[in-house]
Amino acid sequence: MASKVRLYVEQALGEGQTVSLEKEQAHYLFGVMRLTEGTVVSLFNGRDGEWDAEVAQAGKKAGTLVCVAQTKPLQMPPDLWFYFAPIKKDRTDFIVEKAAEMGAARIIPVQTDFTNSGRVNVERLQAHALEAAEQCGGTYVPEVGEMEKLAKVLDHWDESRQLMFCDEALVGAQEVLMGAGKGPWAILIGPEGGFSEAERVRLKSKPYAHSVSLGPRILRADTAAVAALTVWQQLLGDW
């Protein structure tokens, strides 16, 4: 029987491995999805790929699954970190979901000079990244880091990692990215007000930083996030 549901679990996965469900997971599988014993569920944990598992015990508050066979190996994303300035709650959630779907290996909120949001709920954002992986067939869940000030991020930057920062004042991305080549990369999306002049000057002074435009139209921050990830994946990623 084909799997109807994908579920993220913390436990190790392997042939014959028994997976005990938490209360919320059991409620979802057996209360919401109405699965019964013998039903096949797809499991992943971000480490061991994807596995088909049969429901061995189904209860309202608990249950167990048994791994039967691996259906996908672990598929690691490119070595791409995604930095973004948080915006309104729902649109920040959208950015994290899309970054996870589109192959970011790590997602980090940053506070820029013009960032309006002073706090983010990292636990909630991590849950959105996990849900995106569940729904899109991913076997890897990117970590969502705590928000950092952009100045501090640049103070401690590993210069072996190239940085693509999106600047509406410029034109063109292909020549810049292809010229820099493959390797560890990061993308930086600014707030809706753009980067401050001081931030632009500092970024442009860094040998690892490459400023690009996402076209002649000024994009909203959440749209810019998807556009930037698309451009990078198409030119240097695994598309």
Residues 66 and 87 in one domain: no
Higher pLDDT: 208 or 59? It is 208
In a domain, 47, yes or no: yes
CATH number for 44: 2.40.240.20
- What confidence tens digit (pLDDT) does each residue in 44-69 have? 999 999 999 999 999 888 999 999 99
Does any domain span residue 158? yes
- Domain's final residue, options 71, 105, 128: 71
Q: For the chain, what is the domain count?
A: 2
Question: Does 17 share its domain with 118?
Answer: no
Q: What pTM was computed for the model?
A: 0.89
Report residue 217's pLDDT band, with 50, 70 and 90 as the boundaries. confident
| Pair (67, 39) in one structural domain | yes
Report the CATH number that the domain containing residue 178 is assigned in CATH.
Answer: 3.40.1280.10
85 pLDDT tier (thresholds 50, 70, 90): very high
pLDDT at 59 (0 to 100): 87
Whether 106 and 216 share a structural domain: yes
Q: How far is it, in rounded angstroms, from Cα 23 to Cα 182?
A: 44
Residue 1 covered by a domain:
no
pLDDT of 55 reads 96
Residues 194 and 133 in one domain: yes
Q: Is residue 90 part of a domain?
A: yes
pLDDT digits (tens, 9 = 90+) for 123-178: 999 999 999 999 999 999 999 999 999 999 999 999 999 999 987 655 566 777 87
Domain end, chosen from 40, 71, 102, is at 71
User: Is residue 118 domain-resident?
Assistant: yes
Q: Give the structural domain span for 40.
A: 6-71
